[in-house]
Structure 1
Amino acid sequence: MPQRSSRPLPTGWLVLWTVLLAAALGGFVALGTWQVHRMHWKHALIARVDGLLRAPPVSAPGPDTWAGLRADRDEYRRVELRGVLLDREILVQANTRLGAGFWVMTPLRRDDGSSVFVNRGFVDAAHRDPARRGAAPPAGPVRIEGLLRLSQPGGGFLRDNAPAEGRWYSRDVAAMARSLGLSSVAPYFIDQSADDGTAADTVRPARWPVPGLTVVHFRDEHLSYALTWYALGAMTAAAMAYGARQEWRRRRAARR
């Protein structure tokens, strides 16, 4: 059989493929570099939050500082607050190590008249009714310690909060305040910490709601993503080099 001849690519096609491969190479390198920057940002975030979690609690921010709260500085700060828990609550759907259920969000009235929502902990479906939880919440002044969390407006993934129907998928402080007819409510809530050090690990809780189930975890897979993008860039560069060499050989042979 006669051997098929290998002809050089037309100049137009050669330019087109060169531009496309160069664009792909640049895109892969840019994505890898972006993931490296994200990795450094995530490491700084983890270090900051770890420092906040180890720090002693400070007084929860009052109304005069609400406007200056920022997620990159205040989220997950350990705080304490004092006041009276109101006899009202909102249940927000949750999934925890104890299974599916609800966060019990209860407003706490402070001495200055402002209110702060407190996530008193988790209840399963069987303990959704306060009458079935055992001991009632304290009626007098209380001190609560926990983690400061900023409001989560809107709802959950593909699910919007429906206050009129009593369906809540996120802890939207402003919407919860409107639902309960509250004013002067902090733009954050407090995830109450376990007060005995064991409640969060109890398989069969002795009391409901169960506090201390907040999971502070940040996915840190940016290095693997960066290596993947850089590997794709390296393969693209190798393909460009191989193609350029083959085309050079074809054109040299065509000139003979």
Structure 2
Amino acid sequence: MQTTQAPSFFRPRVLVATALAALVTAMFVGLGIWQIERLQWKLDLIARVDARVHADAVPAPAEDAWASVTREGDEYRHVSVTGTFVNADEVQIYVPTRLGPGYWVMTPLKRDDGTYVMINRGFVPEELKDPAKRTPPTGAVTVKGLLRISEDKGWLFSRANDPEHKAWYRRDIGSITKAFDLAPAAPYFIDEELGSDPDAFPRGGLTVVEFRNSHLSYAITWFAMALMTLVCYGVVLRQWGLLGGRKAAADD
């Protein structure tokens, strides 16, 4: 004959279930709180970058400041730089854009102090990839645009630059300047802004300034998982007769 006994939270399996539920719930809540903190960080970053983009241009960092240039502190800063383009060392990097597939035209600019800064002069379509089909800039010029950090690391399955075969796949400033023996060279490059002729090529001003911001949805997901854990825990306790369900059997 099966007997029943008063429900108890101190039975071994109940204690184990409670400990597991508490641990998992705490983990999910912790992840949710972390995503909320990341959300605030991302919103602050977006606000800072937006202020940089729309601020007046400031001189691009000189050689003595290169070591302190960081992605978080300087990328997308509106800067200006003066020098002379070294057109013979231009490289073209394939890129898909809202104008269609084509190439970034990357040209080193030599400053009066002898240092170099790589300039992304803008986009050209396939038919204008060959520099001979374009008129290169000559003489001293002042370039304004957005400071960008070198793309030293590629995305998954992306290819590294192949200087030996003159094949360029990303704006890795180190590999480009090394291939052309450009030294000393800034560790960043500048995306040139749109020129006075909006229909001319290379076409500047195509920098995409956006940040993936899914932290709120992630936070909601983690908090929902925490709630689901508590609901499942409650269902188990009810099945064991600890939350108004059936009486717990003596051999439970």
TM-score normalised over the length of structure 2 = 0.87
Aligned-residue offset at 1:49: 0.5
* Conserved? CA contact 1:148–1:188, under 8 Å: yes
1:121 aligns to what? 122
Q: 1:99 to 1:21 in 2, by over 3 A?
A: farther
Q: Aligned equivalents of 1:113 and 1:29: distance in 2?
A: 55
Q: Deviations over 1:50-92 (max 9, x none)?
A: 1111211001111111111122211111001111000221112
Shift of 1:17: 4.2
**CA spacing shift, 1:54–1:24, aligned 2, 3 Å:** same
**Shift in Å, 1:247:** 1.3
Q: Quick check: 1:151 aligned with 2:150?
A: yes
* Displacement of 1:182: 1.0
Which residue does the alignment assign to 1:35?
Answer: 35
* Deviation at residue 170 of structure 1 after TM alignment: 2.0
- Number of corresponding residues: 239
Is the partner of 2:182 in helix, strand or coil?
Answer: coil
Percent identity over paired residues:
44
- Separation of aligned partners in 2, 1:102 and 1:27: 46
Q: 1:220 aligns with which of 192, 206, 213?
A: 213
Q: Which amino acid aligns with 1:126?
A: E
Give 5+ residue unaligned stretches, structure 2.
1-6
In the aligned structure 2, how far is the partner of 1:193 from the partner of 1:145? 6
**2:191 is paired with a residue of what secondary structure?**
strand
TM-score by length of 1: 0.85
CA distance in 1, matches of 2:103, 2:78: 23
> What RMSD in Å do the two structures reach over aligned CA positions?
2.3
Greater shift in the superposed pair: 209-218 or 166-175:
166-175
Q: How does 1:1-16 map to 2 (within 5 A)?
A: 14-16=14-16
1:25-53, CA deviations, whole angstroms, 9 ceiling, x for partnerless residues?
22221221111111001001001001111
Partner of 1:203: none
For residue 148 of structure 2, what is the amino acid of its counterpart? R
Deviations 1:119-153 (A, max 9, x none): 000122222111233xx122111111000111111
What are the within-5 Å matches in structure 2 for residues 97-136 of structure 1? Answer: 97-133=98-134, 136=135
Counterpart for residue 193 of structure 2 = 193
CA contact (8 A) 1:155 1:161 kept: no
Q: 1:235 aligns with which of 225, 228, 234?
A: 228
Q: Conserved in 2, the CA contact under 8 Å of 1:156 and 1:170?
A: no
